[in-house]
Amino acid sequence: MGTAFTGKAVAILAVLAAVATLMAYFMWLRMRTAERRLLKAQAAAEEAARAAALAAPGGIDPEIVLAILNQGLPPTLDNVYQLTQQRAAEDDAAARAARAS
């Protein structure tokens, strides 16, 4: 019933599917390796940010530096100062609310 062309087309399609499956598998393996490297790099960057904040004059809070990095803002002194002032205001408001109740 089938022609010789149909048999060849099915064989070509099967080969293409096998090649695509192999390529997808190898790309998946590379993606997993890249994800592991990314997690290690993020951990190292956070540790470096903490160390740099502790070594900075004036004792910059390392958690503020990490918050700035997590927000995607550049870690400039202006941004650190703004977030420090914002957190201080929030802490003052929380302390006043605690005293009021």
- The 10s digit of each residue's pLDDT in 18-44 is 999 999 999 999 999 999 999 998 888
Of the chain, the end-to-end C-alpha distance in Å amounts to 88
Q: Where does residue 64 rank: exposed (0-12), middle (13-18), buried (19+ CB within 10 A)?
A: buried
- Find the radius of gyration of the CA atoms of the chain: 28
Helix ranges (DSSP H) in the chain = 4-55, 62-71, 77-100
Tell me the pLDDT tens digit for each residue of 47-71.
Answer: 877 777 677 666 677 788 788 888 8
Q: The pTM is what? A: 0.50
